[in-house]
Structure 1
C-alpha cells in the first residue's frame, strides 16, 4: 500500500489542476476536498503517519450520509445512526487497509481511534455541516492519539463510550444539554474514563449535575430580573469544552505520566468550574448589591466581575462538594484535596477578575474566561500541593 502513495498523491494533484483550470466555477467544494485528501496523503508519505487513517476518516463521512438521510427522524435516532455506521465502516476500512499491507491490525487500538474519530466527526458535522472539516478533523484527532500510544482494553473502551453516551442522551432528554453538548460530553467522558478511570468521569458529571440543578435555582426570578442564562441554562459544546478542556488535558497527562500532580490540577479545574457556576447562579439572587471585584464599587446584579458574600459562600460550597466527592472516592490524600480546594476557589475569583477586566472590555467572552480560570486553578493548585507537603 505504501508504494501506491506517490501514485495517489499524483492523482490528487492532477484532479486539483483539472478543477482549477477547466472547471473551477461551481466546483469549489470539489477543490477543497481534493486538496484536503492530498494533504493527508502527504502527511502519510512524508511524516510516516499510518495510511489507514485517511481511509478510515473518509468512511466516517458515511455517517454524514445516513444522518442526512434520516432527516425526518428524531435527533437521537440520527446521532445513533451516525455513530453506528461511522464507527463500523471506518473500523472495517482501517483493518482492511492494514491487512492489505501485510500487517496484523491491532483491532482494539484501531477501534479506539475510529470511535474517537467518529465522535469528533459527528461533533464537527453538527457544528459546521462541512464534509471537508469533518473528514480532516476526524483524521487529525486519530493521528493525535496515535502519538500518545495508549493501550485500551476493548471492554474498557466500550464501557467508557456507552456509559458517557447514555448519560449524555438522558441529559438531552431532560433538556440539560444541547445535542452538541451530548456529543462533546461523550467525547470528554470517554477520554476521562480511558486515561483516568470512572472516578474522573464522575467528577465531571458531578460538576454538570450541580450546574444543571443550580441553574434552575429561582430561575423565574432571575428571568424576570433579566439575569438568567441564555437558553434556560442548556449547555452546548462550548460550555463543555470551556469548563472541561483543562481537566481533560490533566487526565491525558496523568494517563501518560502517572504523576499525582495532574490529579490535583484536574480536581482544581473542576472545583473552579463548579464554584464559579454556583457563585453565579446563587449569588445573583442575593439581596445585597454586588460589588466589582477590582474596585469594590456597587454594580447591578449580573454584571461581569460582580461578587457578593452569598456568591462567595456558594463558590466555597461548590468547590468543597466536588473535592469531598473526590476524597470519598479515594482520588487523593488530604494534601491533594486541600490544594485542589484552595486552587479551585482561587480560580473562581480569578474568573471574576477576568470578568471585570477582559470580559467587560470585550476582549474575552464568557467561555474564554471560564477556560482561563480553570487553567489558572490547574496551575496554582499543584504549586500549593508542593508547598504544603514540605
Structure 2
C-alpha cells in the first residue's frame, strides 16, 4: 500500500467521525474533534509511523501535520454551521464523507493505474499525463464520493428518525452535485487542499438544499445520465478538457434539476455549437496563431466564464420559485437567455471571424492583426448575430413566456453582450482583465440588458 493510499484511508476513516454529531450530540462530537486535533499537534516525529501515515509531503518540512489539522478544522467549521444555523446535519455529514471517501477512491485508482509512473514527492501526484488514467481517477472519485454522500445523508436521516424515502431525490441531487464540484475544485487546487474543497462543497450543498428540487429520484438519475453522456461526448470530440467536461456536467445537472430540460436544451446548444465552432477551419486558425489551445478543447475557466451568469440565473429562478427571493422568476429566465445568447454570439463571432485576415479594432476601425483583442470582422459580426438568433429561436419554441417581442429582445441582448465583449477586449483585456473576466462581464451585460428590456413589457402587458 502506497503512502498516499494509506493516508487517504486514515482520512476517510476520520471523516466517518462526523456522524458523532447526529449520533452523540454536539458536545461529544466536539470532544472527539478536540482529541483528534490534540493528537495531530502532538505527533511531531517525522520518522515515526503515525506521522508517516498521516503526513502530506509538505508536512515533513514543517514537522507538523498541517494537512490533518486543516482537514479537521474545516469539518469543525461545517459542524458549527450545522449546529448553530440552518445548515442541515445531512449536508454536513454528506460533505465530509464525500471528500474523505472520494479522495480514498481516487488514490486507489491512481495507485492501480500508475504502473510505470512515479509519484512526485512535492505534489504527491502522478507524473504520468495519460488521460485515460486521469479519466479513471476522476470517475473513481465521483462515483465513490456520490455513494459516500448518499450513505452519509441517509445515516443522518436514520439517526434522526426521518424517512429517507421522502428525501431521496434531494439526497441524490446533493450527492452528485457535491461530488462533481469537489472533483472540479480538486483539479484546480493541489490534491492536499481538501479543506478548501470541503468548505466550498458544504456551502454549495447548503444553498441547493434550500432550493428543494421538485424532480423525483428517477428523473434526477436520468438527468445525471444525460449530462454525463453529453459531457463525455464533448471530451471525446476534443471540444472540452477533463476539467471542462466536469464543469459542463455540473452546470448541466443544475440546469435540468433547478430549471428543466428546456433550459438545458438552450444551454447545451451553446456548448455543442460553440464547441464545434472551435473546429471550424482549425488548421487555418493554427496558421494565423489564433487557434484555441489543447486542440480546441475548452477548460473549466472558459466554460465558467461563459456560463457562470447563466447558472446564477438558474439559481435565481429556483430561489424565486421557492419564495426565497421576492423577484419575478420570469426575469431570471430572460437573464438566462440573454447570457447564453451573448455567449453563443461572442463564440461564433470569434471562431468564424478569426479566420479572416482583415479584422478592424472596434474602437477605431483601424486594421489589426488576426487574434487582436477587440478586433472584429463583418463575417464575425454576422455569425454572432446568427448565434444570438439561434438562442432566441430556441427560447421562443421552448418557453411559453417568450413571445416574438421577447425573442427580439434576446437577440438584441446577445448582440449587445457581444459588442461589450469586443469593447472590453480593445480597452481592458490584458491590462486589467483576462479573457475569462471579459467573457463573464459580457454575459452579465447580455443578461442585464435582456432582463431590463423585458421589465417594461411585463409591466404594460
Deviation at 1:17, TM superposition (A): 4.7
Whether contact under 8 Å (1:339, 1:382) holds in the other structure is no
Aligned pairs for 1:1-390 (under 5 A) are 1=21, 4-20=25-41, 23=44, 25-60=63-98, 61-71=100-110, 72=113, 74-105=133-164, 106-128=167-189, 129=191, 130-258=193-321, 259-287=329-357, 289-330=358-399, 332-361=402-431, 363-387=432-456, 390=460
Post-superposition CA distance 1:20-45 (Å, at most 9, x none): 46637231111111211221121122
Whether contact under 8 Å (2:223, 2:257) holds in the other structure is yes
Change (3 A) 1:296 1:171: same
Post-superposition CA distance 1:252-310 (Å, at most 9, x none): 222332522222111111110011011111111224x2222223333221111111212
Q: Distance in 1 between matches of 2:264 and 2:455?
A: 25
Q: Distance in 2 between matches of 1:13 and 1:299?
A: 63
Give the TM-score normalised by structure 2: 0.79
Whether contact under 8 Å (1:9, 1:41) holds in the other structure is no
Post-superposition CA distance 1:36-70 (Å, at most 9, x none): 12211211222242223232122213122222212
Change (3 A) 1:281 1:248: same
Post-superposition CA distance 1:99-153 (Å, at most 9, x none): 1123333222222211211121222222222332333332222112122233331
When the two chains are superposed, the root-mean-square deviation of aligned CA atoms in Å is 2.0
Whether contact under 8 Å (2:43, 2:64) holds in the other structure is no
Q: Distance in 1 between matches of 2:300 and 2:406?
A: 30
| Gap regions ≥5 residues in structure 1 | none
Whether contact under 8 Å (2:75, 2:96) holds in the other structure is no
Change (3 A) 1:270 1:97: same
* Structure-1 residue corresponding to 2:11: none
**Larger displacement relative to structure 2 (295-304 or 363-372):** 295-304
Which aligned segments of 4 or more residues in structure 1 are displaced greater than 6 angstroms? none
Q: Distance in 2 between matches of 1:292 and 1:221?
A: 21
Q: Distance in 1 between matches of 2:74 and 2:195?
A: 7
Post-superposition CA distance 1:329-354 (Å, at most 9, x none): 34521122111110111000001111
Deviation at 1:313, TM superposition (A): 1.1
**Larger displacement relative to structure 2 (40-49 or 348-357):** 40-49
**Larger displacement relative to structure 2 (249-258 or 300-309):** 249-258
Q: Distance in 2 between matches of 1:67 and 1:18?
A: 26
Q: Distance in 2 between matches of 1:388 and 1:301?
A: 41
